[in-house]
Structures are given as structure tokens and as C-alpha cells.
Amino acid sequence: MGRRGKKKGRPVSGWVVLDKPVGMGSTEAVSKIKWLFQAEKAGHAGTLDPLASGMLPIALGEATKTVPYVQDGAKVYRFTVAWGEERSTDDLEGPVTESSQLRPAEAEVRALLPKYTGVIMQTPPQFSAIKIAGERAYDLAREGETVDIPAREIEIGRLDIVEHGADRTVFEVECGKGTYVRSLARDMGRDLGCFGHISELRRVEVEPFTPEDFVTIAELEAARFGERDEAGGDADAPETPIDFGAIDALLVETAAALDCLPQVVVSDDAATRIRLGNPVIIRGRDAPVEAEEACATARGRLVAIGAIEQGMFKPKRVFAG
């Protein structure tokens, strides 16, 4: 008897800009979304800790090819620092390692902000996914090891105080790739002499997506199942085809991830040639003359990422039509 092939799922493509709830891990969220869409493949653009909520962009199908462009985009977080305690994980999850009765005045906190704005050096938390001698730092930390994690360069575009109270301060930060907000809380607490840790963290934006793109698990489930009971139904009843139209309508186009690149609009014939790996002549007064990276679209759909050289678009990575 021949082996039955594994069911691959649908070749659906696009971005789910998930408003991840607190308590759900990023890998768990990807698995849930992949299941809801019955997608062939899925991946996310930047881990969000289980204790954090907010924007987790999840790529389906062909959109997974654009993940690096979203990972490199600026991010905006709103977070609360609780003063008076430093914790092993730099958030609520770990035990208290340092404490103080001191509490900073708003003026003291505000005076510290310029130190944490611009290009700075930052040491990631002990509980982080940084690899040390081939092992994840959080695995070593869970075994009780204290590891020497080298500081690295990050960029913070802005750091603002949203609200200040007696025991905590709410901030909003716009930052680049590789920034650990937990490290910000830890380092500011040490500088202020009162210690601090993250008590609440929400990712508000991941460029190029905005809060208007948010969709929740509940909204996706409602679109996927409608009035039907997700786990119910008569097991002996004949299986009926599933209409994915409502849930697919909640996807953001794959091309949205490439807003950072020069855009080239091509004809259907040119799109066919590009998808076969052939270069095409770029026409039009507004077409870029030279670009190391650009994206070609036809009828609003992404065709390829490539380079523009001597008036020609040369594909490097093509996308299914």
C-alpha cells in the first residue's frame, strides 16, 4: 500500500498583523494563525515575549520571503517601568535580585532620556535569545549560569515619558532592530539608583504596519468559522468545503512589506518574463535609473525583488502570481 502524502495546506499569501494577547508565545501565535488559514507555511517578523502584547506581524506563503524587510523596520513600544526592584528576567516573570526604597522624580527620569536616545551601546538581558558559544542565553540563565553578553550598538529614535507616577513611569520608544526594552528598564533603574523592571509591555507598531492593520485572534476565528462551533458539528456528517473568503479578506498584501523599496510597475507580459527569471527594460519617466534593491508589481500584486541597472529590472527573488 502506498504511503498517503502529508496534507500541505493552502498556498495562501499575505501578512496577518496580529494583536497578540498577553500569555501567548510568538511560536504558538504563528501555529494558531497557520492553522486558522490552513496555510502551507508561516513565519513571524520579530519575537514578542509571552508577557508582552501587541503587534506580531505573521507572514503566510510568499510573504515569508519579505520577512527580513519587516524585521529591519523601526518598532514602537509602550512600556511601564516599575521602580524599586530589579528582577533576573528584567520583567515580572523573574525573582527580585535587587531592591531599593528610592523612587525617582519625573525631572530625574526626564533628565536621563538623552543618554538613551540616538545610537547607543546596550547589553541584552541574561534571559534573551542571544547565542553564547552556540547556546541560547536564556537556556544558560535557566541553569543558573551568569553569562558575559557583549554590548552591541542599537539605535533609539525617540524615548518619551507618557505618564509618571510615584512607583512607575510609562514610556514610549521608537527603536531599531535588536533593541531590548527590558534592558532599557534595567539600565535606567541602575542609573537612577532605584532599580527597575518592565511591568507592562506593548508593541504598537512594526514598520511599515500601523495599528490600523491590527487583527485579533477573535476576529480571525469569527471570520473563519462564522456562526459554526469551532469544535462542534456531527462527526458522521459529510465534510463540506470551507469558504476562506472572509478570513483571507483580513490579510495585508505581501507587497506592503516592501514599501521601503523603490517601486516599479510592469505590464502583465513583463511580469511573466520576470517570473521566469528574465530582466526587462524599465519604461516610464518616473522609473528609477539605478537601485540595488527594488520591487516590481503588476496590477498591484508583487512580482519580484531585484536590482535596477542601466534601465533594466533584474529579478533576484520572484513571487508566485
CB neighbour list of residue 240: distance below 8 Å, 6 or more residues apart: none
What is residue 20's three-state secondary structure?
strand
Q: Alpha-carbon distance 225 to 2, whole Å?
A: 34
Q: Are 84 and 195 in contact (CB under 8 A)?
A: yes
- Whether 49 is a known active-site residue: answer yes
Q: Alpha-carbon distance 103 to 147, whole Å?
A: 29
Residue with cell 519575537: 47
Longest C-alpha distance within the chain, in Å? 76
AA letter at 72: D
CA 97 to chain centre: 30
- For residue 23, count other CB atoms closer than 10 A to its CB: 10
CB neighbour list of residue 195: distance below 8 Å, 6 or more residues apart: 83, 84, 85, 86, 98, 99, 100, 189
Q: Alpha-carbon distance 215 to 31, whole Å?
A: 16
Q: Alpha-carbon distance 168 to 165, whole Å?
A: 5
Active-site residue, selected from the candidate residues 49, 90, 91, 187: 49
Q: What angle do CA 152, 155, 160 make, to 5 degrees?
A: 125
CA-based end-to-end distance of the chain? 36
CB-based burial label for 60 (10 Å; 0-12, 13-18, 19+): buried
Catalytic positions, written as ranges: 49
